[in-house]
Structure 1
């Protein structure tokens, strides 16, 4: 017998059941994990809700750990060993880890030369294609540390013609400003130079290049420096060809310390190695690379901690590195940075203030004199290296600087050389004061008004006129004095030329000639560039201190006739400009052994010169296109041409237009009349220079076609 019981249950809310028995999560929230308490897995959980921390109740996704199988590990290991074996056969003289830093071209060169380490680095021109370099890496000098010397990819000198790449800031006084004006006058020049640069890259890409030494090498690679006959020769070369410009070292004390070979402190070793590096440069040809090892050794003693040093030797070593050496190897931005840091160090040491009177006796007097010479040498180096960059001076001659000029001492014949160094330094300081004022004015406004320009020019002329006779005349003298005299004069011509050059750059972008003052400034600039080229050709010497400066100032001066040829290709002065450029090209060739950048400078100048000659032969093609803004003028000219008879007398018209009265000489509003035959006349009237030029090329081209028919 079965009994069945039936009952009823009250319906319950499903939501209530869910809340009473929550579903457990797979893991606790982040807040509960941190507090190490039990979590119910809800969102938010009870613990966070009770503490009003709902915002912190966050569950993170757990990542399952994947353990590779033994077979996978064995396969990867075998594949890696096979690749290492292949790389070892291809590059037997390289560590595999070092290959990652090499470019594709460098790897190819290493394979072609059997992995030899002395032929891995390609010519710097190989690294110039625009698509392979990021836009902001043009002046990244760290990227070019692996390049052999010289490194042409220098935006300051524009030796690799990097027109389209971003560069460090350069003002109106820079070479880049002149090259930009050339491209604006002749846009076709860009394509011609690009093709010529590509051809030059193909020719020079297999040239053997010697890599420079780098600070990443082991510290004990070079022995401790002791006296040697070779080192003595380098020290002598430094004091003969460098010290005459920046006599910041006490020559007697320096030579004594070097001969004794007792000092082994880092400030002394840094200074000694920089002196040896500069001595190696000025005592050898441009192909020599011994200076690299001395510079590398000096840099091991000039790390970041050196900027906190209070030793004058450290300051002097940084001045030589930033003011001379880095500019020689085409690292100008790094050189400016180091020289700026040296200025900060010198001001922190109080070198910009005149010592008190109680320090004016005995050894203190000599130390105070060295401080003066060191400070003013820094001022001169900074002025010389930034004059052609168009950057502000940041107050080299501010009122807070009251240090006196170096004092001249005459100690008989033995002290004549050092006294000449002081004389040269004092005159260079006066020149740099004028140059700094000009530099700051050009940094504010590129084109100076005629009054300011004449005032600056008069100051420069007055400085040059009142130079001591030993520095101003052409009498026979020792080599150091002759070198100082020539370089000072080259700087004088260059600064005067840069003072007037903005007028030429501005005129190339104008549709018509400006006021008479601008025209006079252009002629003055062209005349100064001619004088500079002729002076360099007569006075340069066959050693690197002379060749280095000569190439730089010659490169600056040659840009003026090049730009003038592109701007006024039909001027009667073209023949003279062409002769100046050809003289410069000959000098660059002669200076190849005495300047690191002579070959590159010659390449840039010759490319622009050949391209400009090609454009002059082809004619200005852009002017043959119709000008939409001068339709009325073109219609009138075509009407005159249609009415003129097609006879042999048309040749006379062409001859008259092209030879007897060439177009660029005409001024706006000039009326030209030419007899065509049978009493008819051909008249051309122009109200605007631009319209006249377009009409000029159009009428002559049509006349040539009519004559041919």
Structure 2
């Protein structure tokens, strides 16, 4: 039996302490003597149950020694293979960290890639290297701890400072979304990337035109990783110039490989493109304005509109504009249709700045608007930065015509076009130290935040849903530098040591502050959705709702207190420019945000649940309305026709309507008269001003009549009222009436 058991097949190998192996000949010495079956363990079952010493003398049999050596060698090879796999992944991470550290030695600090963070990540990776792989799945609690430990993993996807926890007073998801922590506005000037997490946010994949488009979602990431594995090197996440762009051209996400990859995303078929629309004219057939007219319109745009809506990079636009021939002579076969659509949109926006002669019945710049729209529709199916710029400028132009519904529609298209290119995620762009790439990155951020604010302003003004959801976006704020300074800033080896000319006021300061205000305004708009307002009938949810209102009020107060001096209005300020224009716009939007925040709490239905909070909310509305009217004094002189002007006129009208029924009437009506005067001054630039003024004047007259009727009712209800006190009593000769007559 001992010999038979010596030739038995070895069991499944394990890894006991000391790197031992199971016995080749299974029977121990005690089992051999008793001639019983031995299980081959150390100790075996028989010896352990009888408290005997389980002895197994090593055999000198050549066959047994060979089998034992082969088994031991196999186990060591398996363990070495596992260790090499872990070591390979660690070496890749260390190599990437070392390369990024080398880039940082010559890169500007605004890239946000901290050397200490990289070293800490490498140290953590070394410490976390396990001895034996464990296939256990982490629990949900462990995952939540990891998410909370990551600074950038909160639902606030953009933060001004290091993001803190969201307001702890709002535990429900439907309320906490609108809460902003006391320490930040939910926005970030930190230009760093989220290291190790871009793949979780999405990827840029090649479309049928050979360009890169955004594809997100955890499930789609499985598909993207599979395609990357089958065709390595076929996908990149860098900005490349579009075919019609110069070296500093508008960023376009193009495929950098000349040869098509063997495997592609099934959502796109390479080479399958949209056919040209046969009834639309070609770009070279669209007539352009004379050179002197085009120069006037372009200069007007960049002088008055550009920094309130910075979707363009002026040096590149002017370079392309100078290369464009002044008139289509019939031989212009190389016309850049994408740039031409942006050019006509610029002309349409600038045409609203030219004073009207009073005889025209159409919108100013309508001809340029139509040409730009034709070229925009001609590029159906493509994805490019020029399409985003074009539709965004058309939205601003429509807002200047007081056609806010059309502006809101175009704003939604601009948001979708920007998301199609992945502009809403900073993590999709590769790290580069080239000045041209950094400028394109800044342009992408400017474009995204411009369409974001456009969507917020039009949606808040109309009370409609917003196209951009904060939880879907993670884009860093643009630098506070004007166009002419960006290239010099990035070419400087040490940007932190700036010359005195670089530290002066920047026309981008007001726009960056406006982004923060629009972010808060969007949360207020979402808080007052119809589903949330219906919940005010529940006392518990009403209390949570009030806590969210208080949190948003604090956010508005902090935003106002933290405004830079360049965008603070001062009576002594003599220099007028983009920052003063943005100052007026922001104060109107700030007052409008307060009206949105408190107006729904001051209605009769809300007062039944909120009690005294309804009266307090009404006082906030009155104060915000007066602030809006006082800030509107400079709207006519400073705010150009755009969606900003339409918003200012709309909330100026609302402010007058809110003040009409207020007491004391003398003070309230004085502010209403001021509102009427400001609206009358804006009638030449905004058609909505005349309609708003007519409504306020009519209601003001009705309010005076209602005031007289209310006084008469009070007299009739007073039992001590005499006939001579009643209006019109002198027309009758009756000296007295019975008490019952007055009680009718």
| TM-score (ref. length: structure 1) | 0.52
Deviation of 1:338 (Å): 2.5
Q: How many residues align structurally?
A: 418
Name the counterpart of 2:637: 542
- 1:488-536 C-alpha deviation (Å, 9 max, x unpaired): 11111111122111123x13x5898962222111111111101211221
Q: Distance in 2 between matches of 1:418 and 1:391?
A: 39
* Secondary structure of the structure 2 residue equivalent to 1:405: coil
Contact 2:639-2:645 at 8 Å conserved across structures: no
- Pairwise mapping of residues 193-592 of structure 1 onto structure 2 (< 5 A)? 224-225=287-288, 228-262=291-325, 264-285=335-356, 287=358, 289-303=363-377, 305-322=378-395, 324-354=396-426, 355-398=428-471, 400-409=472-481, 410=485, 420-443=506-529, 444-446=531-533, 449-474=545-570, 475-504=573-602, 506-507=603-604, 515-537=611-633, 539-542=634-637, 545=640, 549=644, 552-563=647-658, 565-566=660-661, 572-592=663-683
* Secondary structure of the structure 2 residue equivalent to 1:249: coil
Select 2:699's aligned residue among 588, 591, 608. 608
Deviation of 1:307 (Å): 4.3
Contact 2:457-2:644 at 8 Å conserved across structures: no
| TM-score (ref. length: structure 2) | 0.50
Q: Distance in 2 between matches of 1:233 and 1:383?
A: 31
Deviation of 1:278 (Å): 0.7
- Pairwise mapping of residues 73-84 of structure 1 onto structure 2 (< 5 A)? none
Q: Distance in 2 between matches of 1:524 and 1:704?
A: 45
Structure 1, gaps ≥5 residues long: 1-215, 625-636, 656-700
Structure 2, gaps ≥5 residues long: 1-278, 326-333, 489-497, 537-541, 728-736
Residues 309 and 419 (structure 1), Cα distance of their counterparts in 2 relative to 1, 3 Å cut: farther
Q: Distance in 1 between matches of 2:443 and 2:644?
A: 26
Contact 2:383-2:421 at 8 Å conserved across structures: yes
Deviation of 1:704 (Å): 12
Q: Distance in 1 between matches of 2:646 and 2:311?
A: 26
- 1:583-637 C-alpha deviation (Å, 9 max, x unpaired): 122122222223232222222222332333333344499x89xxxxxxxxxxxx9
Moved more, 326-335 or 539-548: 539-548
* Secondary structure of the structure 2 residue equivalent to 1:388: helix
* Secondary structure of the structure 2 residue equivalent to 1:368: helix
Contact 1:547-1:594 at 8 Å conserved across structures: no
Deviation of 1:419 (Å): 7.5
Q: Distance in 2 between matches of 1:477 and 1:440?
A: 37
- 1:145-175 C-alpha deviation (Å, 9 max, x unpaired): xxxxxxxxxxxxxxxxxxxxxxxxxxxxxxx
- What do you get for the CA RMSD once the two structures are aligned? 3.9
Residues 250 and 241 (structure 1), Cα distance of their counterparts in 2 relative to 1, 3 Å cut: same
Q: Distance in 2 between matches of 1:589 and 1:523?
A: 27
Q: Distance in 1 between matches of 2:372 and 2:460?
A: 27
Deviation of 1:246 (Å): 1.8
Name the counterpart of 1:182: none
Q: Distance in 2 between matches of 1:559 and 1:456?
A: 21
* Secondary structure of the structure 2 residue equivalent to 1:577: helix
Structure with the higher helix share, 1 or 2:
1
Residues 346 and 307 (structure 1), Cα distance of their counterparts in 2 relative to 1, 3 Å cut: farther
- 1:287-336 C-alpha deviation (Å, 9 max, x unpaired): 56441111011111121x534222211210011112x1222334333332
Contact 2:656-2:696 at 8 Å conserved across structures: no
Residues 331 and 562 (structure 1), Cα distance of their counterparts in 2 relative to 1, 3 Å cut: closer
- Pairwise mapping of residues 6-155 of structure 1 onto structure 2 (< 5 A)? none
Deviation of 1:463 (Å): 0.6
Q: Distance in 1 between matches of 2:738 and 2:421?
A: 75
Contact 1:554-1:584 at 8 Å conserved across structures: no
Q: Distance in 1 between matches of 2:738 and 2:606?
A: 27
Q: Distance in 2 between matches of 1:296 and 1:403?
A: 32
Q: Distance in 2 between matches of 1:226 and 1:562?
A: 44
Deviation of 1:268 (Å): 1.1
* Secondary structure of the structure 1 residue equivalent to 2:311: coil
Q: Distance in 1 between matches of 2:698 and 2:285?
A: 42
- 1:341-383 C-alpha deviation (Å, 9 max, x unpaired): 2222222212122244444413222222211111111111111
Q: Distance in 1 between matches of 2:671 and 2:642?
A: 18
Q: Distance in 1 between matches of 2:397 and 2:738?
A: 58
Name the counterpart of 1:593: 684
Contact 2:399-2:642 at 8 Å conserved across structures: no
- 1:200-248 C-alpha deviation (Å, 9 max, x unpaired): xxxxxxxxxxxxxxxx998899963266222222112211222112212
Name the counterpart of 2:263: none
Contact 1:471-1:485 at 8 Å conserved across structures: yes
Q: Distance in 2 between matches of 1:332 and 1:580?
A: 27
Q: Distance in 2 between matches of 1:591 and 1:329?
A: 13
Q: Distance in 1 between matches of 2:610 and 2:738?
A: 31
Contact 2:680-2:693 at 8 Å conserved across structures: yes
Residues 533 and 379 (structure 1), Cα distance of their counterparts in 2 relative to 1, 3 Å cut: same
Q: Distance in 2 between matches of 1:419 and 1:374?
A: 22
Name the counterpart of 2:59: none
Deviation of 1:543 (Å): 6.2
Contact 1:501-1:525 at 8 Å conserved across structures: yes
- Pairwise mapping of residues 171-210 of structure 1 onto structure 2 (< 5 A)? none
Deviation of 1:395 (Å): 4.7
Q: Distance in 2 between matches of 1:319 and 1:460?
A: 27
Q: Distance in 1 between matches of 2:374 and 2:738?
A: 71
Name the counterpart of 1:42: none
Q: Distance in 1 between matches of 2:683 and 2:502?
A: 33
Deviation of 1:548 (Å): 7.4
* Secondary structure of the structure 1 residue equivalent to 2:317: helix
